[in-house]
Structures are given as structure tokens and as C-alpha cells.
């Protein structure tokens, strides 16, 4: 009786091994790019801080990580697209082809100049005003204790919550945003007198929630400055705003609200 013997396996040549390895490597690289692109588009992304408007919380050149899964809440620091008229024209950091590809998939931080970063002060339906008898910003008549994050000079002098007086109610689907460096931040306060064709005066001061890229939750570079960005405790004391929120903003502001 003859035995069945397995056919001898054909050995691959060096060239065939190389081709097989390159194919597997290509699949791994393409898969990694797809995963990174999906994460960048729907989960998280890095941004470079372009200005001093959020000092000392965020410094120029800081790299922050932004998550895109949660909805904005009072006190959070958020990245958002320019609603129109908020940004001065500036030149973006130029990268080479490899750098642009790495930025696209989220390995390098976004260098686009069409985004801003500010703190959420008012949600739809909130009444935000400046200021009470002690010079504090109030949200729904509750004063904010902002000393933990407002800009402080090297001499230890902290900026006032706002030199612009205003009283507004945030409309539905919009946010009222302010920088932590109040004397050097062109934020919602500065657009309360803006006039746009077909729009209500000052409507441009309230950023559409659809323009929010996400919440900045950590500084990751430089390593010496890495930290988490948490919501200051003062915002936990704020009562709910008007429900339903008005469809148009309610604005009382003087001529100085155009910084």
C-alpha cells in the first residue's frame, strides 16, 4: 500500500518575498491612513494656537487636541470656523507635500487660518451681561468668578472681565464666546454692532453651533506646558436659560462694542 505524501511546498524566491512584504506594508499603510482620516474627521484633531486671545490659558504656538463628539457646554474652550468678519486676513504656515499629507490625516496639527478658539460663555437662551456692581460678567443673573482663567500680566495684574458693557440673550442654535485675554480678544462682544445684509444687527456676534469644530480638552505641546483644559467650577452655578431660546438675538450694547 502506498502512502499519501503532501506535495512539497514551493519556496518563494527573494523577489517574491519582497513583493509579498510590500503588498502587506501597503495594506497596513493605507489602512492606517483611512483610520487616521476618519478619526480626524469625526473624533479628534490637533490645532496650533495662532494668537494671544486666550492667554494665559493658551499661548501662541501651543498644540491643542480637539474632540468632536460632544456638544458645546458653558465654560468649555472650543475651536470654531470664522462666522464671517471675525478674522483678519493672515498667511497660513506653509508645509511641504509630506507635511500637508500628514496634516490631512491628523498626524500634524491643523495650520488653517480660518479657525478661532474661545471660551463658551453663553448657550442658546442664556442672558449674558456686563457687568454687575462688582464688575463681573453674569449669565442668567448669576455672576461668574473668572479669576482662575482671565489673563494676568507678568506683574500680577489681572484684566477686567470686560470693558464693554452689554446685555444680550443668545438666540437658538448660537453661542456667545469670549477670549480669556479680554483686552486682546475680538470675540462676541466686538460684533454686537455689526451690520450684515439680510441679517439682524449684531447677529454675527453669536456663533452658530454648526461652525464649532469641537472642544479643546488638552494642550499636548510643548511638553513643559501640557495640561488638561477643564470647565471652571463657576459655570456649575449658572441657572438654565430661557426655553425656548428666541429665534433672533436680543441685544443692548453701546457704541464701544466694536473692538
231's grid cell: 470647565
Grid cell listed for 26: 501597503
Query: Could you give the CA distance from residue 111 to residue 95 in angstroms, rounded to a whole number?
Result: 9
Distances (CA, A) of 154 to 55, 151, 161, 224, 225: 12, 10, 18, 19, 17
| Cell (9 digits) for 249 | 438675538
Find the catalytic residue in 51, 118, 185, 188: 118
Would you call 71 a catalytic residue per the annotation?
A: no
- Burial grade of 232 (CB within 10 A; 0-12, 13-18, 19 or more): middle
- Active-site residue identified among 51, 53, 162, 185: 53
CA torsion angle for 72, 78, 84, 85 (degrees, to 10)?
130
133 included as an active-site residue: no
The candidate with the shortest Cα–Cα distance to 187, out of 232, 122, 239, is 122
| Residues forming the active site | 53, 118
Amino acid at each position: 500500500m502506498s502512502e499519501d505524501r503532501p506535495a512539497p511546498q514551493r519556496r518563494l524566491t527573494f523577489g517574491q518575498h519582497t513583493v509579498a512584504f510590500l503588498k502587506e506594508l501597503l495594506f497596513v499603510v493605507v489602512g492606517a491612513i483611512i483610520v487616521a482620516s476618519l478619526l480626524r474627521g469625526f473624533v479628534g484633531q490637533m490645532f496650533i494656537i495662532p494668537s494671544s486671545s486666550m492667554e494665559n490659558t493658551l499661548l501662541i504656538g501651543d498644540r491643542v487636541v480637539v474632540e468632536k463628539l460632544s456638544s458645546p457646554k458653558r465654560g468649555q474652550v472650543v475651536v470654531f470656523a470664522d462666522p464671517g468678519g471675525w478674522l483678519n486676513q493672515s498667511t497660513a504656515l506653509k508645509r511641504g507635500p509630506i507635511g500637508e499629507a500628514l496634516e490631512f490625516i491628523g498626524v500634524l496639527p491643523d495650520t488653517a487660518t480660518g479657525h478661532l478658539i474661545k471660551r463658551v460663555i453663553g448657550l442658546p437662551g442664556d442672558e449674558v451681561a456686563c457687568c454687575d456692581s462688582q464688575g463681573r460678567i453674569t449669565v442668567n443673573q448669576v455672576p461668574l468668578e473668572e479669576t482662575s482663567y482671565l489673563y494676568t500680566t507678568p506683574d500680577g495684574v489681572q484684566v477686567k472681565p470686560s470693558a464693554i458693557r452689554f446685555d444680550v440673550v443668545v438666540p437658538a442654535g448660537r453661542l456667545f464666546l469670549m477670549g480669556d485675554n479680554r483686552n486682546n480678544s475680538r470675540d462676541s462682544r466686538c460684533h454686537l454692532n455689526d451690520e450684515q445684509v439680510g441679517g439682524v444687527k449684531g447677529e454675527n456676534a453669536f456663533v452658530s453651533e454648526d461652525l464649532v469644530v469641537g472642544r479643546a480638552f488638552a494642550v499636548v505641546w510643548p511638553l513643559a506646558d501640557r495640561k488638561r483644559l477643564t470647565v471652571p467650577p463657576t459655570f456649575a452655578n449658572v441657572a438654565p436659560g430661557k426655553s425656548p431660546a428666541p429665534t433672533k438675538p436680543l441685544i443692548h450694547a453701546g457704541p464701544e462694542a466694536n473692538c
